[in-house]
Amino acid sequence: GDSVTQMEGPVTLSEEAFLTINCTYTATGYPSLFWYVQYPGEGLQLLLKATKADDKGSNKGFEATYRKETTSFHLEKGSVQVSDSAVYFCALSDRGNTGKLIFGQGTTLQVKP
Amino acid sequence: GAVVSQHPSRVICKSGTSVKIECRSLDFQATTMFWYRQFPKQSLMLMATSNEGSKATYEQGVEKDKFLINHASLTLSTLTVTSAHPEDSSFYICSAQSSGSTYEQYFGPGTRLTVT
């Protein structure tokens, strides 16, 4: 079945460092891909998404490109802030558009001043 | 906009009792709601998909009689954990999907259930 694999955390960075969180997927067909963020004590929020190959999703300085050839959707940010500390989830949604999401295990990011 | 609330945010109950968790879409109509379970340091696992006015669709391995889901209106879905046991202790999260075509899900803040 479909699955999502993320790099294990926690990831600890200093402020203004470059961030990469790896995400790869296995899916039949052509899924839509998402990154969600969960700040402490809050629900998941959609950070960005891409619906087809080579699409780049971006938001709040974060970017991820849908790479069909490597089945990847790595999350990047050029300069992280303390406020970016959160848990990040990669997810996919099948093309059947049932709305069902399959999540990776989540990666905790801690940014230190 | 697109706010989803859950109540209660945390609950402690004794083994054998039942607990009801509410999920509400506050400013939009949700034809579909999803219920997830999240174990510590693990991913969200989809339990069931709930469509307004019809029976929920449960994922494989989820006990229908133990996790009762009702989606009686376009803004409210409930999850009732019946005859709770300590192994049911977990973080339960709901999400709501609007009637629009984006298929984006909006997540509630979650409910921490502890069964003693």
The residues, any chain, with a CB within 8 Å of residue B101's CB and separated by 6 or more, are none
Classify A96 in phi/psi space as left (phi over 0), alpha (psi -120 to 50) or beta: alpha
Residues in A touching B110 (Cβ below 8 Å): 43
Q: Are A13 and A110 in contact (CB under 8 A)?
A: yes
List the structure tokens of A48.
């960005």
**Which residue of chain B comes nearest to A99, CA vs CA?**
B103
Q: How far is B32 from chain A (nearest CA, A)?
A: 9
A1 interface with B at CB cutoff 8 Å: no
Specify the DSSP class assigned to residue A70: T
Report how far residue A59's alpha carbon sits from residue B2's, in angstroms, rounded to the nearest whole number: 18
Query: What integer pLDDT is reported at residue A95 of this predicted model?
Result: 62
| B52 CA to centre of own chain | 14
Query: What integer pLDDT is reported at residue B14 of this predicted model?
Result: 96
- Contact (CB<8Å) A99/B107: no
Residues in A touching B93 (Cβ below 8 Å): 43-44
Report how far residue B6's alpha carbon sits from residue B96's, in angstroms, rounded to the nearest whole number: 11
The residues, any chain, with a CB within 8 Å of residue A44's CB and separated by 6 or more, are A36, A37, A38, A89, B44, B93, B95, B107
pLDDT tens-digit series, residues A56-86: 999 999 999 999 999 999 999 999 999 999 9
Phi and psi torsions of B61, nearest 5°? 90, -5
Bridge partners of A11, per DSSP, are: A109
Phi and psi torsions of B60, nearest 5°? -60, 135
Residue A29: count other Cβ atoms within 10 Å of its Cβ.
8
Report how far residue B1's alpha carbon sits from residue A26's, in angstroms, rounded to the nearest whole number: 33
List the structure tokens of B1.
């906009």
A107-112 and A11-14 strand pairing: parallel
Query: What integer pLDDT is reported at residue A100 of this predicted model?
Result: 84
pLDDT tens-digit series, residues B53-94: 888 999 999 999 999 999 888 899 999 999 999 999 999 999
- Over residues A32-57, the mean pLDDT reads 91
